[in-house]
Structure 1
């Protein structure tokens, strides 16, 4: 098979997945459709190395992971996170519930290594799934390497309907209180517009669209003296690569004392780079490289499915269902208890925790669709948006972007 034919086939599969997701308003996730099509391809006429033939060998995917995780760190704003401290505690409690229940119950039903591989992808996204799949493969655990990918692909099917149900209950409760005058006056239209603008900015960050900013010069404080025309795409790539290399170097230097995944340090150094003004926020998007990086990483994810025979898929099915069920129960118990202590409704607390199963943009899409389905009144929609959307966005960011990468960096060393 020629390189260009391989590239056309694999990119077409990603497009079909996206189209189905858009058509179903994210109820059927793109990764699920793409995974099915890749499996059909591998079981029929795809060469096993089709992703490498298309131009994304493992070395390229690893490079893209370093850049993407460093870029994720630039999105973190400490000030905004402080305003949602209850959300952060609830999101962390949900993750803790998953970890405790799977280690306490899942280990006895299945085994310790299966739970190590399962937890980071279950509470995270594509990056943690790649880290655990690659780690399992390096440890000679072929079936668990596939398991990490499959659990990432399937977790959304538990999260999407549960979140929708919980948010609808929360929305009806808020509407009842609002209509009876029990709620304080909702935020001003300007405040709500600000929330919606943040959602659109986050959407642009994921899609790769550049968001105009009036703070560009102050954001890049270290290079305020540099004429704008010299801040080229290559200079942006250079600084991202340099920060990622420093993270890798520190990880290597620390390895005789303590084993820390370089990916965890990439996240930390990305935060430091943005806060000191060495990196812009969304640096990879502004370098026009985000879309290709995601494409390459997604292809590398589905490359892991080439090991998945029909027999292996049937073999890991019990672990898949059991892990998701036990994890979600643990998430519900812990988030409900912490939510009660913080005087947050169990529906909202559980919804925030469930963002760990899919993250952004699904959290934004589901919340927006639920609000639209509950009322036609614009003021009521503004009230629901101001109270439901910010916690959902922050919850997804904390669990998928930060916690899952940290857990993956720790757990992969235990395999």
Structure 2
């Protein structure tokens, strides 16, 4: 298969996913449809390396992750991170729910080691899945090594549609209040990064606008990403901190001090391509899920995901009630553990676009939903899951 044919096919799949999301008003997320089509493709005629063949190897994907996460940080303010303490507690409660239900019930159904291998990938991303997979292999548990990867790859099939449903319900209620005058736009978008607040590059205030080129924006994003990597490396002997977590934090700081503008990657005309490439890299993980493997792992796979989602819902519901957060928003926030970034960003925007095209109403919805979804995704997937994997791998 030629490079351009591979590129045409996989981008067409993303386009089909978008069409379905538009036609169903985001009740069926584009990510879900694209994941299904990729899975079918790998089971039929796709070469295993179709994504790399199309021009997106892992090195390019990792580079784009640095840029994208740093850019995501510019969508948040320092005050917003402080204000998201409720989100953090709810996200952590969802993870506790997964652990409690799987250890309390799942152990008796699937066995202790299966549950141990399942939990970190279920509440996290690729890093935690790889840690558990390698740990299982080292312990001679070949099938569980595969299971760790498969549960990471397929957990989104539950998370994508459930999140879309929860956010649509939450957004519809908020729009109803806004349109009835119960809430005001200026209050709803208070301190929201998507609000139309003045943009100012304080550190470059004397720089003529004509010199603030796309390359200069890319350079500043890359520099902040490099600082995150450097600090993560320097702290390595003391404490393990993912450079991606630091990218988010440094992005927030860089915008606050005026080194980066809000949504710098979009202003540099690179956001769309970066999201496309990262999504293709994520779907590339489906090449490991063969039909026979899926049949063998189907029961523990579905069982662990179902039990995990139930535990997530129960714990997030009660904690959300205590913190006076709606059950829909609390559940949506906890569900970010099943996919993380960039799916949390994409699904939230798809839902908002499906509910309204009015700019002010979109700002109202995004101010309420986007920051919690982004923060929750990084807390669960990028931070907690890696910590859990480091602990749980010792149980094998």
Provide the residue aligned with 1:410 in structure 2: 387
Q: Which residue, 225, 236, 239 being the options, matches 1:258?
A: 239
Aligned twin of 1:359: 344
Per the TM alignment, residue 328 of structure 1 is displaced from its structure 2 partner at its CA by 2.7
Equivalent residue, structure 2, for 1:38:
38
405-414 vs 361-370, greater mean Cα deviation: 361-370
**Higher deviation after alignment, 76-85 or 301-310:** 76-85
Check if 1:269 corresponds to 2:273: no
Quickly say closer, same or farther: Cα 1:42–1:241, change in 2 above 3 A.
Answer: same
Q: Given the two structures, how large is their TM-score scaled by the length of structure 2?
A: 0.79
Distance 1:99 1:224 in 2: 50
Kept in 1, the 8 Å contact 2:345–2:374? The answer is: yes
* Residue of structure 2 equivalent to 1:378: none
String of CA shifts for 1:58-109, please: whole Å, max 9, x gaps: 1111111111122222222233455666555445533443354445554664
* Structure 1 residues 7-406: aligned runs within 5 Å: 7-80=7-80, 86=86, 89-102=89-102, 105-106=105-106, 109=110, 110-120=114-124, 129-133=125-129, 135=131, 141-161=145-165, 186-188=182-184, 191=187, 194=189, 201=194, 215-216=198-199, 218=200, 220-344=201-325, 346=327, 349-350=330-331, 353-354=334-335, 359-363=344-348, 366=351, 390-406=367-383
Q: What's the CA shift for 1:315?
A: 3.0
State the Cα distance separating 1:10 from its structure 2 match: 1.0
Query: What is residue 140 of structure 2 aligned with on the other side?
Result: none
Q: Shift of the alpha carbon at 1:143?
A: 3.8
**Are the counterparts in 2 of residues 51 and 303 from structure 1 also a CA contact under 8 Å?**
yes
Q: 1:23 to 1:60 in 2, by over 3 A?
A: same
CA distance in 2 between counterparts of 1:58 and 1:247 reads 19
Q: CA deviation at 1:198?
A: 6.1
Q: 1:153 to 1:336 in 2, by over 3 A?
A: closer
Q: Separation in 2 of the partners of 1:99 and 1:154? A: 17
- Identify the range of structure 1 (9-18 vs 263-272) with the bigger mean alpha-carbon deviation: 263-272
Q: Which moved more, 1:296-305 or 1:94-103?
A: 94-103
- SS of 1:278's equivalent in the other structure is coil
Q: Which residue of 2 aligns with 1:210?
A: none
Q: Deviations over 1:240-272 (max 9, x none)?
A: 111111211222222222222222222222222
Q: What TM-score comes out, normalization by structure 1 length? A: 0.75
Shift of 1:235: 1.1
Deviation of 1:314 (Å): 2.2
Distance 2:22 2:37 in 1: 17
Q: Is the 8 A contact 1:331 1:350 kept in 2?
A: yes
Q: Tell me: CA distance 1:45–1:26, structure 2 relative to 1, closer, same or farther (3 Å).
A: same
SS in 2 for 1:111: helix
> Residue 126 of structure 1 corresponds to which residue in structure 2?
none
Give the unaligned 5+ runs of structure 1.
121-128, 180-184, 203-212, 373-381
Name the CA distance, whole Å, in 1 between partners of 2:84 and 2:246.
24
How far the C-alpha of 1:319 sits from its partner, in A, is 3.5
CA 1:138–1:282 in structure 2 vs 1: closer, same or farther (change >3 Å)?
farther
Q: Mark the runs of 5 or more structure 2 residues left unpaired by the alignment.
A: 138-144
Stretch moving more, 313-322 or 290-299: 313-322
After superposition, the CA RMSD in angstroms is: 3.8
Report how far residue 392 of structure 1 moved. 3.6
Residues 141-193 of structure 1: CA deviation (Å, up to 9, x unaligned): 3442232121124322344446667888x78xx98xx99xxxxx72346556x
